[in-house]
Structure 1
């Protein structure tokens, strides 16, 4: 029932989004930039109800699919940790939901990556002087103007200083709250170049950000150097760390198990491998798209099949042409400032 309700909300959200602003069919090949998309989506966010979902006595999810990323909530002995912040326009309702389960203040915010549907709420929470934690690449991205060409060419403007991450790291970072250890793990170039997965070690619950989503074909932010190879590698790492009791809070969608994570990884792997085989046979892109699409469930959502397969094709092509320096994870980027 939970998944059926989620799919229904997703379809409604996609219908609303397409009506709010006309996006380009192939933004990776278009120089046009969509400067209205994020503001329009922010205004529409209030049309979708937020749900507070209990995972255990300390971990909750604030879900507002499909136009906002899942907020992870941890009730620590010294305060509340939020993983991602959704939209500034929803911040008061987020506070009301938190007030229904705790009287403790927000101690820290963790941003899993720089994309607006996970960080826009920083604009509301930042002025309250709450520490915001992220990978250094996420802070740098948020300091500068971004165009997310792998999605809808949307322009994400630089964040004001008060909404930027104030605590950054490059590899791992841990918080210790009573018996719980909150481990932040950096995964290079899987979805963006600043992806952080948050692991509640004692509870064995992961908040994956958009490395794992439960709506179908994902956005891989190729402008940041991210690619299908690193994404699958990240999923393999998470699968190797998990057992049948492990729970996953995806960037979007309901609480999942290792079974759903494996299904998602297998989906991406099947697409990559099919594209590789056809590319090695020197088949044209149009044929690759046609023959790869037949592998996919007609009910599969996310970005368009044509766009996703085209992106994977480009990544496979780049990997084959430059075998001495294939697509590979990169480290810290340098700020232009």
Structure 2
């Protein structure tokens, strides 16, 4: 269950300088991993996708970049033999909503998201109206489909101001969106309503809702469980405490970046959120 290709994650977020040329995506494949009965994690370029298949139709949580739409559709057909009926966007970043328009146009998919996701996408002139969430919510909603009860709940001021997490109750599978970057420093979009303290509080809230058997499909990184989510929370709190101490000692941001974090966090640095950039966020 836990074996899948990390190497296919070639990019993460719209702020990352993605080359515009389509050929940068040519070698990317969509990999699938069944994590529960008829529930799969799809990985490719951008955020991880949850796919639920069953008699009520295919339900996706997030849909990566627009360049990946046809490959996602092909994988969905391979796994389920169906088109995509529903899509839930966990937030507005392009690596989670980029294929909305393609699925709306080609599969007549209905798209759901928090109110703030539609508002932010509506203000983006480059985002086609067809891909906007058709149904939005303020605090949450519940789906009853594919022999499961699917709880969607909004979490305030964390990764962005429009974050939602999705929990399949019977299967005990959680997709927290980008409130989990498993085994790596997270991106917190401070310019779009994100907040470090809020992010930590939201992670604490999600951990309180799950148990040791919960399977977690993270926004980015490998499949996770509760213990690994707890390790992520520990990293958040301890690195924040280290940076807070540097500030209290009168260090400037540049001095804090020069000093760096404790060596135990070396492995959490990655191509997009390096240790220096994580210190900037915390500072």
Is the 2:91–2:177 Cα contact (8 Å) retained in structure 1? yes
Structure 1 residues 4 and 86, CA, compared in 2 at 3 Å: closer, same or farther?
closer
Deviations 1:5-25 (CA, angstroms, capped at 9, x unpaired)? 52x555xx47xx9xxxxxxxx
What are the within-5 Å matches in structure 2 for residues 26-45 of structure 1?
A: 37-38=17-18, 40=20, 43-45=23-25
User: How far does residue 223 in structure 1 lie from its aligned partner after superposition?
Assistant: 0.6
Higher Rg: 1
The match for 2:138 is 170
Deviations 1:26-76 (CA, angstroms, capped at 9, x unpaired)? xxxxxxxx8x94562754223222101111222111111xx3111110113
Deviations 1:238-267 (CA, angstroms, capped at 9, x unpaired)? 111111101100011221101111111111
Q: Counterparts of 1:55 and 1:4 in 2: how far apart (Å)? A: 11
Aligned residues: 278
Structure 1, gaps ≥5 residues long: 18-33, 146-156, 314-337
Q: Counterparts of 2:174 and 2:79 in 1: how far apart (Å)? A: 21
Is the 1:38–1:116 Cα contact (8 Å) retained in structure 2? no
The match for 1:286 is 254
TM-score by length of 1: 0.76
TM-score by length of 2: 0.90
The match for 1:76 is 54
The match for 1:334 is none
Q: Counterparts of 1:88 and 1:221 in 2: how far apart (Å)? A: 21
Structure 2, gaps ≥5 residues long: none
What SS is found at the alignment partner of 2:267?
A: coil
Q: CA RMSD in A?
A: 2.4
User: How far does residue 79 in structure 1 lie from its aligned partner after superposition?
Assistant: 0.7
What SS is found at the alignment partner of 2:36?
A: coil
Deviations 1:242-296 (CA, angstroms, capped at 9, x unpaired)? 1110110001122110111111111111111111122223222233223442345
Is the 1:187–1:197 Cα contact (8 Å) retained in structure 2? yes
Q: Counterparts of 2:274 and 2:3 in 1: how far apart (Å)? A: 21
Deviations 1:70-115 (CA, angstroms, capped at 9, x unpaired)? 1110113211101111122222222222222323332211111110
